[in-house]
Structure 1
Amino acid sequence: MTKQAKFIVTAALMLGMALAALDTTIVGTALPSIVGKLGGITLYSWVFSIYLLTSTTTVPIYGKLADLYGRKPLFLFGATLFLIGSAASGAAQSMEQLIIFRAIQGLGAGAVLPIVLTIIGDIFTLEERARVQGLFSGVWGLSSVVGPFVGGLIVDNFSWRWVFFINIPFGLLSMLLLIFTLKETVERKKHHLDYLGTITLTGSIVSLLFALLQGGTSWAWVSFQSIGLFVAALILFVFFIATEQRAAEPILPLELFKNRLITISSIGGVVLGVLMFGVTSYVPLFVQGVKGGSATSAGITLGPLLLAWPIAATISGKIVIRYGYRITAVLGMLAAAVGIVMTALFTPQTGLPFIIAAMACIGAGLGFASSVFILSVQNAVPWNLRGVATATTQFFRTMGGTIGVAVMGTILNAQMAQRFAPIYAQFSDAASRLPKNIAPANVLLTPNLRTSLALPFLTQLQNALSQSLFWVYGLMLILALFGLAAMFLLPGGRADQYAYKPTEEELTATPSTDAMAHIG
């Protein structure tokens, strides 16, 4: 296992992860241009939603298949699907086509993200993983957050289709490097795939996400559609739990959660997902809507978070090895909570240095914590469970972000409806001259409309949006404090104390890690 070979595999995996994470958010700034060319404004949200649905629901399934059949074939399968979806999305001639092809993209991304982390867990020792996983955690965070900025650059200087086409050369390079460098030996035996568990889990997640993404927009929260979807999600989840308790090879082994490290890391992953997606969704809204900044300045505001995350994630690995999981995770969640407190104090008068300090604090905190969640889980399980265990942490993180942002959107909409209506009534003459089809919040996000408003009217709208966002940040703060408290439940002491120790029977019956995944 040469250093050069490890470097090539690591570069290939980083490239694959960056592309899949980037596509979660890069479409945002391109979508107005896409709708302008293809039409279909009523299908706007589905371009995001379908990718999120397919990439989230398939994560546990791919994790289990990677444990059964090896990491490399599943990564190559997922990357191929992702690139096919990218090429087709770039060539789409209608919104309906684009949505179908984005679903294919998501099916591929569901394999790429967790299996990248699993391969890293296979080919590096704990000490090496502590450094490398921190780097990968930073790549994931950086790619997700920088997406809107990159999408804007591509749309401004090229065609929107290059938002998708740009994936192809880099994705092919990642696959070729892995094909020629990573060698796997997997024990071949007959497997019993958990089809019923796969169907019930997927159905439950799809129902829940569909309800959260469409509730309050396509239909009311208390409508038959919303209630029916939530009930369906609950019933299917109960069936899934019952199925997993009887399955010979469950898609998501419930005994994993008997391990305190995995349970607390999963909780931490949910909190991390909520905070990351929440901050990157709603801080730019504050910068543009309340502070009157441009889309570019809103992206720049997130810069300190982008820089602090990978730096902290790299440092975090060294602290984990020396002081253990608990102290590292507590430091991370504490820093994130402090940053969220600062964010909750944002007002129209808040200066740029304060906003930058808050973003740097949050980025450092999430960078510290994210490495712990991956390292602790991979270190606690044998090779044949590492894929599904790693996928589980990724699954909880994405689900946390998806559900969290949906709930925050509901809170924000309710707060804005309550605050904006009296202001519009007070300035009825000015409000009557605004375009009828533009929501009040969008007036603040449209530069030519914002500059046309009288200063008293504009000031009150900005204050109303700032006060509405306070409740969104308040929810994030509650979850950050909950996450901080949960981190104290991680076991103390050095990380190597909690490494999985195979039984004598496993040592003689199961190939070693080096035999399972080695580089040549």
Structure 2
Amino acid sequence: MTAVGEPKSARRSAEKSDGEPGVLTRPYLQLTLGIVSVVLLIAFEAMAVGTAMPVAVKELDGVPLYALAFSAFFTTSLLAMVVSGEWCDARGPRLPLFAGIGAFAAGLVLAGTAQSMWPFIAGRAVQGLGGGLVIVSLYVVVGKAYPSALRPRVFSAFSAAWVLPSIVGPPVSGLVTDHLGWRWVFLAIPVLVVLPIVMMLPQLKRMAGEPDPDARMNRNRIGAAIGASVGAGMLQYGGQHLSVVGVLLPAAGLALMVATVPRLLPVGTLRAARGLPAVILSRGVLAGAFFAVESFVPLMLISEHGLSPTEAGLTLTVGALSWAVGSWYQGRSPHERRPRLVQVGFLCVAIAIGGALLALISGVSSYVVTVGWFFGGAGMGMAVSSMSVLTLDLSTPEESGTNSSSLQVADSLGTIVMVGLAGAIFATLHKGTGKDAGVFTLIFAIMLGAALLGALLAPRVRRPDPNP
């Protein structure tokens, strides 16, 4: 963002150096602000809900179902991502985008007014449907409404929209929960969705190149998405229980995912075929490695270094800020550097995970994690946004919805699998003595290996040579 009173800086940030329109100039201003507003609302809800959730489930007598309140969101969003991609390709992005915004708002209202745990979980599931529809349709809007040269800057704005919620979301949510009640964390956001709809609607109506009205969604792919979503839910829920259920459910869920997930991804994804398949696979590996470690860093800092929850959380805030910096940098990088940015992103995440490992050595300061997480956030900003740009560049207009949904599916599945694996390791080896350095070391070492493997695979995201 450009400060008021600095017109020259504003002009430089809004326009390209060659005089072409920028994302904040008249042809795109309303659409850009509308997109950023939607991402901002989703980001704030995502950061705030973690603070309000423990209070909500306790009041609703639903502590045993705590994990299901989270997995319901992720399971339905995974399904909605695939549906959104098919819907966008068949009918254009306008309807799935506005349907997603409406479903997200409806889910917030349902959760905020719930009088028992199961309606609350249902609200979270509806939220997930809305979130999955929105994120994919936004990608398609970017691909259709903006020229290739401006797309990196739009994705930079996506990342920037997460910064403020990352900083103020948890404390504001805590204040609202303490003084007004947890329900207002959910009920205050739906009234804000009208503004982005009003801002985006004129531009979306003028969007050219709508697909053939006779096009149909791929029902086989949607069926596979249902199977993958159910499997992901079983994997997440079962991994929380040290029992027979905790073994059988994840095993069955993993088998179901093995049978269905390949049908949701481009051919060659699991073998990192050059071009789009490698981009999709890299996104899943990167997200899984980073978020699996991020899930355990606060716990490690509290248990091994004696930090308070607030102090431990500041480390993640540093990562959120540097994420925006990395995304800003990639938005101003030449197109041909994107594969290198993906590789550098993986290496930066490896540095972050290495910092977390160093912090487990006796006598090493916890500040090494903070420094490492700055690099990790910057790496995520560079690589994630670059992969989004590459996905649209490697897609025809007719495939932009399907391929964007594949990218988001890989992101979600990578996170689910890696976090589930880390959770299972911790649940199995956790000693309950307050010190788990060996367990943390094993988890972080596995994720470091994944990040380094991703760095080796990153050069394969280049477009295949038509004349090998």
- Regarding TM over 0.5, the answer is yes
Distance 1:151 1:295, change over 3 A: farther
Mapped to 1, the partners of 2:170 and 2:227 lie a distance apart of: 30
Deviation at 1:55, TM superposition (A): 0.7
CA contact (8 A) 1:21 1:113 kept: no
Taking the TM superposition and a 5 Å limit, the aligned residue runs for 1:119-130 are 119-130=141-152
CA contact (8 A) 2:269 2:278 kept: no
Mapped to 2, the partners of 1:25 and 1:111 lie a distance apart of: 19
Mapped to 2, the partners of 1:389 and 1:168 lie a distance apart of: 29
Residue aligning to 2:26? 4
AA aligned to 2:436 is L
1:75 and 2:97 are equivalent in the alignment: yes
What is the percentage of aligned positions where both structures have the same residue? Answer: 24
CA contact (8 A) 1:114 1:394 kept: yes
Distance 1:473 1:141, change over 3 A: farther
Q: Which runs of 5+ in 1 are unaligned?
A: 242-250, 421-439, 441-460, 499-520
AA aligned to 2:297 is V
1:175 and 2:173 are equivalent in the alignment: no
Mapped to 2, the partners of 1:472 and 1:123 lie a distance apart of: 42
AA aligned to 1:129 is R
> SS of the counterpart of 1:4?
coil
**Which deviates more from structure 2 when the two are superposed, residues 215-224 or residues 383-392?**
215-224
CA contact (8 A) 1:20 1:113 kept: no
Residue aligning to 2:15? none
Cα deviation, 1:252-278, whole Å, max 9, x if unaligned, reads 664999973211111211122113322
Residue aligning to 1:423? none
Residue aligning to 1:117? 139
Residue aligning to 2:437? 466
Cα deviation, 1:68-105, whole Å, max 9, x if unaligned, reads 11111110011001101111111111111100111111
AA aligned to 2:275 is L
Taking the TM superposition and a 5 Å limit, the aligned residue runs for 1:67-216 are 67-139=89-161, 148=170, 150-183=172-205, 184-185=207-208, 186-215=210-239
Cα deviation, 1:181-228, whole Å, max 9, x if unaligned, reads 432342443123322331233113312431343235174377544444
Residue aligning to 2:11? none
Mapped to 2, the partners of 1:361 and 1:97 lie a distance apart of: 41
Deviation at 1:43, TM superposition (A): 1.2
**Which deviates more from structure 2 when the two are superposed, residues 97-106 or residues 277-286?**
277-286
Q: Which runs of 5+ in 2 are unaligned?
A: 1-20
CA contact (8 A) 1:12 1:173 kept: yes
Which of 280, 288, 291 matches 2:305? 291
Taking the TM superposition and a 5 Å limit, the aligned residue runs for 1:13-412 are 13-139=35-161, 148=170, 150-183=172-205, 184-185=207-208, 186-215=210-239, 217=241, 219-220=243-244, 223-236=247-260, 241=263, 254=267, 260-321=274-335, 323-347=336-360, 349-412=363-426
Mapped to 2, the partners of 1:142 and 1:472 lie a distance apart of: 30
CA contact (8 A) 1:63 1:388 kept: yes
Mapped to 1, the partners of 2:160 and 2:180 lie a distance apart of: 28
> SS of the counterpart of 1:182?
helix
Equivalent residues, number: 440
CA contact (8 A) 2:274 2:463 kept: no
CA contact (8 A) 1:326 1:492 kept: no
**Which deviates more from structure 2 when the two are superposed, residues 179-188 or residues 28-37?**
179-188
Taking the TM superposition and a 5 Å limit, the aligned residue runs for 1:479-498 are 479-491=450-462
Deviation at 1:406, TM superposition (A): 0.8
CA contact (8 A) 1:54 1:106 kept: yes
Distance 1:101 1:127, change over 3 A: same
Distance 1:221 1:101, change over 3 A: closer
AA aligned to 1:169 is V
Deviation at 1:22, TM superposition (A): 4.3
Distance 1:140 1:320, change over 3 A: farther
Distance 1:336 1:350, change over 3 A: same
Mapped to 2, the partners of 1:237 and 1:101 lie a distance apart of: 26
**Which deviates more from structure 2 when the two are superposed, residues 80-89 or residues 229-238?**
229-238
CA contact (8 A) 1:412 1:471 kept: no
Task: Give the superposed CA RMSD.
Answer: 2.8
Distance 1:71 1:135, change over 3 A: same
- After TM superposition, the score normalised by the length of structure 2 is 0.86
Deviation beyond 6 Å, 4+ runs, structure 1: 255-259
